[in-house]
Chains A and B, each alone.
Chain A
Amino acid sequence: MLNKSIVEDVIIAALSIGGDFAEVFVEDKINTRLTLLSGRVEKSVSGRDYGVGIRIFSGNNSAYAYTNDSCKENLIKVAKETAITLKNSNCNTTLNLMKSDIKNNSTILIFPSSVEKSKKVQLMKRAYNAAKSYDEVISQVTVNYLDHEQNVLIANSEGLFVEDKRVRTRLSINSIASKNKEMQTGFSGSGAYMGFEFYDTIDIEDYAKESARQAKTMINAELCPSGKMPVIITNGYGGTIFHEACGHGLEATFIAKGSSVFCDKLGKKIAPDIVTAVDDGTIPNAWGSLNVDDEGTKTKRNILIENGILKGYLVDKLNGRRMNMKSTGSSRRESYKFPPTSRMNNTFITNGDSTFEEIISNTEYGLFAKGIGGGSVEPSTGDFNFGVTEGYIVKNGKIDRPVRGAMLIGKGCDILKEIDMVGNDLEHGQGICGSMSGAVPTNLGQPTIRVKSMTVGGRKEDK
């Protein structure tokens, strides 16, 4: 991608001007994005992202620059211009980068770039047909497909030099149901750190039907009631609640500067005994997995909460300096256009003892959030929200009737304490998480859980 001796020269050039640590990140990425609407391929865009990011630390401060022009003269110029904003050059450096081989956690069988686009389109059409023919009420279906092969080179002044290739693909189906001048939507999709063989491991028609089923259910559903009530949150994508309510607040990005409600809580009880939560970047072929993070550190299985006790944060190199902690292999970035910072990979609450049926039958009245949209959080206060796209009222231990989407809100540290049942049906959903270092693929996972009381942002009183 970039010659080792050029990388060495760039790092030395930076440190000769300022800083005590320098890093080079090179990215060469092939992207394919296809959109199918009304059964026809509407958009087909592909292209090549290419650029180099240079990052320099001086103590706790950092400077970052990136460019698309990777000729040696330009990179050295950029490195020097960036370093000049920092103090404390420590350099009479000599540097001998040693290429280290990395352990590959995820086997890729069929590289997407080797697959004809028409094959990808066939797959999309199968999904379209399954969703569209699900019911007469389905008026429109959009299918989105993406794949990418991201080649990265990461090197730094500590002698690190690694290269990796990351391959991902994802397909999603949006269905719209129309009735009486109203429209409601359904969404389903899946993705993996895998090649095109991923689609042999799932039944795409099942996902398509699921999307159509949601839209049909919602067009026939009444408005969601509002107020405080127990909320049962589905497995898989339901993990959005932990991601927002707690996960972001454990990122060093916020911990290092004291702007998280979870600062100074290590070793303290922050959740009931039944809650254990993990962030694991090593799961083979999982959507949010990486062999090495975007600073070149090996990913790990990080225990965040064990039996209710806060065990660890997600740490990157820069914030690790402020916190006096080592990297947990959690530093990520969308592309060379972003300096990396601590982020989640595959985050999930581990299995408990209850069955789904037990959780429902033990609930006298409440909301079952079966379909989950995205969410957001303000880590310094812990205030979070996330959207329910498909809801059901539970009455007298039984699912009573579907209700339309509503927002759920709360404070992270309060909600964690309110989890009173954890199911035994752990699953993972594939999301895209947006934060300071851009949009990165993350898994959201959990078994079905119940929260004793949460504010449900519906539109009417329950009769």
Chain B
Amino acid sequence: MERLRRNPELQAWLLLAIPAAFLLIFFMAPLVIVFVYSFLERGKYGGVEWVFTLENIRRVFDPLYFKTFVRSFYIAIVTTLITLILGYPLAYYIANSPPSRRNALVFALMIPFWTNFLIRTYAWLTLLRTHTGLINVTLLNWGLIQKPLPLFGNDFAIILGLVYGWLPVMVLPIYAALERLDRSLLEAARDLYASSFYAFRRVTWPLSIPGVVAGSMLVFIPSLGAFVTPAILGGGKSLMIGNIISNQFLGAHDWPFGSALSMVMMIAMLIATLIYFRWTTSSEIAT
């Protein structure tokens, strides 16, 4: 007991032992299994044969699958850009509201975010469907269009669903950065006859970059790994890498290839994140 009190390192490990062991067994070990499976041969009836092969990794770069990879990247990048363009002014608006209204607006932002993602995606399904969706039905009824618009089962629907789903996640960190911003800096800029645009560009924007980076990462990663949105709004035609992965486990029973796909996806995410961080920190210094 006396030794425990004197030894903070022992105390720390005592506190961390169970949670760390839990994650080691049920998170890190599964991660290692996926890594190992990527290099094994496919078993006859699902499962694996313990034979080393690079075939799965090679197949990931087969044009058939690699095309989906590139498309998923494209969808994730476009989604991140649109949420940033839509989210920044919204965060700015909330941060510049009177303090009494600010909390209510953040609350209003939280409600859609805490609404089940599946439900929010389903809501768009009922709006976008080609022949029975609310938007096309209404526009046809009003005679504004002759043919239903192609709103569903394509990249547009997926990007819209993702933007809708992840917009609050972009807004919150930017808002947090803007709210912390020292207003006297802006006043100083204005006193020195900086135009409002110039003051924004040289003061507000650089100081909000940490929020922009955090928000972009929080949108980009789940967008790249999206499964629910393309499954529902892609209409079975427009797929992303998450769907190809799930197909290897639910349909094709090709676990090693599914593992290889998710390994490459995670590594690609890691690389994209690192490049993005490098890029934003260097541009922060430049301004």
The yes or no verdict on A and B being binding partners is: no
